[in-house]
Amino acid sequence: MIYLDNAATTRTAPEVVEAMLPYFTEYYGNAGGIYRLGGESKRALMRARETIAETLGVQPGEIYFTSGGTESDNWALKAAYEACRDRGRHIITSGIEHHAVLRTCEYLEQRGAEVTYLNVDADGMIDPEQLKRAIRPDTILISIMYANNEIGTIQPIREIGEIAAEHGILFHTDAVQAYGQLPIDAAGCRLDMLSASAHKFNGPKGVGFLYIGQKTRLRSFLHGGQQERGRRAGTENIAGIVGMETAARRAHRLMEEKAEREISLRDHLIGRILREIPGAQLNGHAGKRLPGNVNVSFAAVEGETVLIMLDMEGICASSGSACTSGSLDPSHVLRAIGLTPEMARGSLRLTIGEENTMEEMDIVAETLARIVKKIRDTRI
């Protein structure tokens, strides 16, 4: 099998699983307990908070553990809106955000929010000048993703953060695709909130975090016990958090080398596809792009058909319409960068991870060329 769907989720690294196991079998005590067994959990929790904070250059008290990217995005947007509603009801985001942000914005619109969805250019980039023009006296929040999950485009987060700070507007970024892949400087980017998720960087599923800067006072997300300084109640997922910590440490240790490797695989695969398959085009920015992201469209071919045929050859990928599973509506991201419905339906996302090899890229390029030709030949 060749796994090329790492933007959807990654394999939990064996080192991560090993670090988690004792927290199921030996150190299962409640971190809130006063007995010694609870102390083990409590220390693990503290260590994890310190490690994660260090990777962003922030304080441990600014890290809140959650169940993943979706929860972090929901918390950030809903709580920021509630906290600032008296000052204004205007939110700025982009049209290419993950559904965890877009659907939450729609929910807030039903509750009185006014949302501006910024357009992106043909590469999927936000224009900071356009952002400036969208700011109003009643703008309370800017939420722009760090890097896009479909086309891999990396946004000018530093510039956006400066604009937000200049205007005294809260700034949130969904960094689920970026954290663990790219170095992130929370202070330099003037971030007030950042969402991340462990399973996107070889950690376990169902655990993530939200960074909330000290100056940002947000309401609790879950009400109940005093966990997470009273802001996110519920017995801590210690094993998951330890897994995320191990994965974060590992991702930052291997970051440079992994990125370099993935970029060479990515560019090799993109090069072969564009040269060898007629009517193929690359989606997303060629350079400002996640190391492992390949997103291509083929004229006169359904991405879904390609996916099924790739699966029969043991290759796992995804298409622009697979995200909204079952629906063949072309992705909102591909439409936002101006693809025709035909090219959007003919799209394919191949996302490279640390376990992929150059040989696999060659197999995939050759298989794809054969499949696309076969589909086109049968059509005519």
**Residues in contact with ligand PLP by the rule CB under 6 A:** 68-70, 73, 98, 100, 145, 149, 174, 176-177, 197, 200, 208
Of the pair 10, 51, the CB lying nearest ligand PLP is at 10
Q: DSSP for 153-167?
A: BBP-HHHHHHHHHHT
What is the distance between the alpha carbons of residues 298 and 198, in angstroms, rounded to a whole number?
A: 32
In the residue annotation, 323 being an active-site residue is answered as: yes
Name the residue whose CB lies closest to ligand PLP: 69
70 vs 347, beta carbon nearer ligand PLP: 70
Region of residue 86 (left: phi > 0; alpha: psi -120 to 50; beta: else): alpha
Alpha-carbon span 49 to 64, nearest angstrom = 8
Which is closer to ligand PLP, CB of 161 or CB of 208?
A: 208
CB of 69 to ligand PLP, least distance (A): 2
Q: Minimum distance from CB of 160 to ligand PLP (Å)? A: 16
| Least separation in angstroms between CB 172 and ligand PLP | 12
Q: How far apart are CA 296 and CA 278, in angstroms?
A: 12
Smallest distance, Å, CB 147 to ligand PLP?
8
Bridge partners of 115, per DSSP, are 91
We find the least distance from the C-beta atom of residue 174 to ligand PLP, in angstroms, to be 5
Q: Toward ligand PLP, which CB reaches closer, 53 or 194?
A: 194
Q: CB under 8 Å to 175, separation ≥6 — which residues?
A: 145, 146, 147, 184, 194, 195, 196
Instruction: Kindly state the tokens that stand for 31.
Output: 């971190």
Phi first, then psi, for residue 318 (nearest 5°) are: -145, 165
For the beta sheet containing 114-118, the strands, ordered from the edge strand earlier in sequence to the opposite edge, are 63-66, 208-212, 193-197, 170-174, 139-143, 90-94, 114-118
- The CA-atom distances, in angstroms, between 301 and each of 132, 188, 323, 348, 373 are 40, 44, 18, 10, 9
Q: Which of 84, 105, 189, 323 is catalytic?
A: 323
Instruction: Output 90 or 98, the one with its CB closest to ligand PLP.
Output: 98
Of 5 and 313, nearer to ligand PLP (C-beta) is 5
- In whole angstroms, the minimum distance from the beta carbon of 324 to ligand PLP comes to 14
CA distance 276 to 255: 31
∠ CA 23-31-247, nearest 5°, is: 45
Catalytic residues: 323
